[in-house]
Every structure is written in C-alpha cells, then in structure tokens.
C-alpha cells in the first residue's frame, strides 16, 4: 500500500467530495444516493481512480482487482490515515485552549 502523503489525501478528498462522500475524511455527515453513487463509482470509473490514488497503482491494474482486493485497499487506506492523524485531536485542543495570559 502506498504511503499516505498530503498529495494522496488531497487527491483522495477530491474524489470523495465529487462522490458526496467527503464526510469520510472530514467527519461531516452526508447522505448517500445509492443509484447516483453506484453510477459514479462504476460507470464514471471513480472507484478505479480512487483505488489508483490510494494504492499508487495504475487504473488499469486496479481494474483487474477482485472486489475483496479493492475492499482491502480501501480499508488499509482509512486505517493508515486514522493512524497518521491519531494525535490531531490533542493538537487541536492544545492550540484552541490556550490559557489566558495575565
């Protein structure tokens, strides 16, 4: 699996936002329209593009993957991203809750 970089996050966010799924990265709630989502993922091949971004493989390569291989790559991406950002809540708390200076 490809190392998660800022470029990877940016490119993944663009695809997810196009699909109406940006909430998977930014934590906002979202509503899924199954028919539209399925069409975008498969007909427009956005799933191929997303998998290529997160894996570092060519779209043609990921197109030959089985559904279970796709699921494994997607799961790995979100787990790795979560591990990378694990300290973010503590950092935000430290930044936003600075003690008042006398």
Mean pLDDT of 50-61: 96
Q: 22 near 16, Cβ under 8 Å?
A: yes
Q: Is the pLDDT of residue 92 over 90?
A: no
Q: 54 near 70, Cβ under 8 Å?
A: no
Q: What is the pLDDT of residue 80?
A: 86
**What's the rounded Cα separation, in Å, for the pair 17 and 39?**
15
**What's the rounded Cα separation, in Å, for the pair 65 and 48?**
10
| 25 against 57, higher pLDDT | 57
**What's the rounded Cα separation, in Å, for the pair 11 and 32?**
21
- 63-80 tens-digit pLDDT: 999 999 999 999 999 888
């Amino acid at each position: 699996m490809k190392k998660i970089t800022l470029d990877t996050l940016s490119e993944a966010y663009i695809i997810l936002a196009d699909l109406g799924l940006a909430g998977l990265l930014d934590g906002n709630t979202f509503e899924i329209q199954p028919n539209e989502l399925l069409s975008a993922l498969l007909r427009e091949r956005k799933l191929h593009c997303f998998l290529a971004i997160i894996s570092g493989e060519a779209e043609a390569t990921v197109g030959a993957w089985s559904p279970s291989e796709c699921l494994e790559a997607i799961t790995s991406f979100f787990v790795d991203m979560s591990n990378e950002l694990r300290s973010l809540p503590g950092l935000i708390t430290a930044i936003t809750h600075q003690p008042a200076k006398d």
